[in-house]
Chain A
Amino acid sequence: EAQVTQNPRYLITVTGKKLTVTCSQNMNHEYMSWYRQDPGLGLRQIYYSMNVEVTDKGDVPEGYKVSRKEKRNFPLILESPSPNQTSLYFCASSFDRTHQPQHFGDGTRLSIL
């Protein structure tokens, strides 16, 4: 079954404690991206990756890092989380740029206290 898998699904943590949200897809997709979803603002792109070792900033990259060492994995890293990063995060993948984003994960709800 085609899947984008995110972990954890829920996380409550404190300001400044580094965290990583993992994302893995089993469809051999080249394109992957991260979004955050906030009430009234809709989905906003944080980072995207066109292939292994190729990443670029989206619309709201401040405070986030990503890496793409393998095609299937695209982790989102918060080096020093702050309360304004409390949000619902989605990872997505697609087989080409025209159809992106094609498949979304089920989301990670982060609460930064």
Chain B
Amino acid sequence: KNQVEQSPQSLIILEGKNCTLQCNYTVSPFSNLRWYKQDTGRGPVSLTIMTFSENTKSNGRYTATLDADTKQSSLHITASQLSDSASYICVVSMNTGFQKLVFGTGTRLLVSP
């Protein structure tokens, strides 16, 4: 079954600290993996997209990694800020006609002052 599992479900960290969010998937055939940030009351915003051949991609303080062999991805947030408080969603795209998407249920991050 094609699934995307994210951990932890929720996380609280102190402002300025680093954190890492995990995404494990069983999706096949794989096309790409994307991380989104969703602020409360807003739509998701794309942070990174990685294809099979990419194992690291950065967007400011956000760095995503991908291990296609173990089917794992992580999102590392450096020097967290209060504005990083949000849900982070991992999405895997299947290499099919319309690139069917499989969504994780997200990790809710709270950055505390």
Contact = CB atoms under 8 A, between A and B. Distances in A.
Interface of A: 4, 40-45, 48, 50, 56, 90, 92, 97-102, 104-107
Interface of B: 31-32, 41-46, 49, 89, 91, 93, 98-99, 101, 103-106
B43 A105 contact: yes
Contact of B103 (A4, A44, A97, A104): A44
Q: Which of A44, A56, A97 has the most CB of B within 10 A?
A: A97
Given A42-B89, A102-B46, 5 more contacts: A44-B103, A99-B49, A100-B93, A101-B101, A106-B41
Contact of A50 (B49, B91, B98, B106): B98
B41 A98 contact: no
Q: Which of B43, B99, B106 has the most CB of A within 10 A?
A: B43
Given A42-B89, A42-B105, A56 B44 contact: no
Given A97-B98, A98-B31, A43 B46 contact: no
Contacts, number: 42
Contacts of A50: 98
A107 B41 contact: yes
A41 B3 CA distance: 12
Contact of A56 (B45, B98, B99): B98
B54 to A, nearest CB: 13
Q: Which of B91, B101, B106 has the most CB of A within 10 A?
A: B101
Contacts of B91: 43
Nearest to A90: B43
A106 B89 contact: no
A42 B98 CA distance: 20
A43 B103 contact: yes
